[in-house]
Every structure is written in structure tokens, then in C-alpha cells.
Structure 1
Amino acid sequence: MNVREFLKNCPVEIWSQHFAVVKAKYVPKDFVAVFSDREEITVVVDAQHLNDDWIIESEQGWRMLSFRVTLQFELVGFLAAVAQALADAQISIFALSAYSTDHLLVKDADLPEAIRCLESLGCAVAESD
């Protein structure tokens, strides 16, 4: 499957919340995503749920964009194409991949330009309900 064809009309949801990416002491109750390895625990959390008790470091001011399609494991270059378009616009991303869906965090200030970039790839970007 051609990634450019796949991106045409690909639904992208903009979450209404503002998020923080946190290096955490432990996994808090109200997390959105978590990644744990031998070195650290990284948590994505709605910024309104931040609590100093479990935070080591945090980076706030992120917005989440979710690709609302099932991504086939055979689809090669999906994230690379999206990341390259955003990189060309000087937009930093924090990428999250679930089993069948990818999500990107972009800084709030970069959201309008990120939307423009995704729409130029053919994506159908919309605010969440």
C-alpha cells in the first residue's frame, strides 16, 4: 500500500485537552499513555492531572493528534512521511504508537502549522467532540 494514498482523507482527531510528557517516579492513576523501560517511566497525562508527588521532570504545552484509522503492520513509511512533513515545517513531535493507531503530540503553539502540514498530505483534520 502506498503511504501517500493512505494519507488521503485519513481522519486525524485533535484532542481538546492539553497534555504533559512526564518522567515519573511511578505510573499515576489518570494517565493517557505510559512507556516504561529499564531506565525510566514516561507518562503522557492531561495537564490538569499533574501532581508533584510523582513527577521527576515534565514538559507541558502539548496537544494530541490521533490518526483515526487502523494502521496495517505492512504499511511502510506512514510515520516517516508525517514526521518529515512536520520536520520540514520545524515542528517537533512526540510520537506514540498503539497497536493499530498512531498519535502525535505537538506543542500548542505549533498546532495551526501542524494542521496545515497534515492537510497538505491529504489528511482530514478535525477537533474532537
Structure 2
Amino acid sequence: MNTKFTMLILTLFLIGNNGYSQKGNFFNIKAQLDYCAEQASKTLKVIPNDGTSPRTVSNGSNQWKFVNYKDWTSGFWPGELWYLYEATGDKKWEKEADKFSQFLKPLSVSKANDHDLGFQIFNSFGNGY
């Protein structure tokens, strides 16, 4: 690889990562992960037991909009849970990730209509794999 190109990439990387520190306080990954786990735990408490997954919270609301397995975002929630399991090793996240991934199984016997199948399957079963 060209040395000048390598230096340019390294410089851009260092400049870009400089935004993660403010007055010597570096981005606290554990605190951010703990926050994510806390929010996911809260979300698990309000999800209906009907095979749906949380998608969005509308502006001005504090209620989740839930979607079924056919929605193009249906793999995002189990994918997030798989990431939490990977980061923490907590079996709670593995159990929940698997549960929500299983809701997507009907996709395996449905004709693929578009590229959204990648979002649905790779975020869920792909991360689980």
C-alpha cells in the first residue's frame, strides 16, 4: 500500500476519533453498554408475547411501535440482543435473542421479494451464528 495513502487514512482515523474525548474524559464504552442493556431490559418488559418486535417510538410518544416478522426491520431487535450477549456473555441476552430470532423462521419458507431479507436474517440468525 502507498505510504502517503496509509498516513492519510491513519490521520483521518485519529482526527475522527478525537471527537470521542472531551477534556480528557474518554468515551466510556462500559457506561454506554450498560445504558443499552438497561434500555433493552425495559423494552423486554413491554413487548407483547405475540411474535412482534419493537421498531420505533414516534415523536411525542413514549410507546413502542411493534412490527411482525415481515417488516424489513424485524431482524434489528434480535440482532441488538445478540450483540448484547456477545458483549456481556449474559445468558439472558442469548435466550431473548434466540426467542426473537425464532419469530423470523417463517421467512425461511417464504419467497424472497427484495433485499430486505438481508436485514431480517443477517442481523438475527447471522449474529446468532
The structure with the largest strand share of the pair is 1
TM-score using structure 2 length: 0.25
Instruction: Please identify the structure whose Cα radius of gyration is greater.
Output: 2
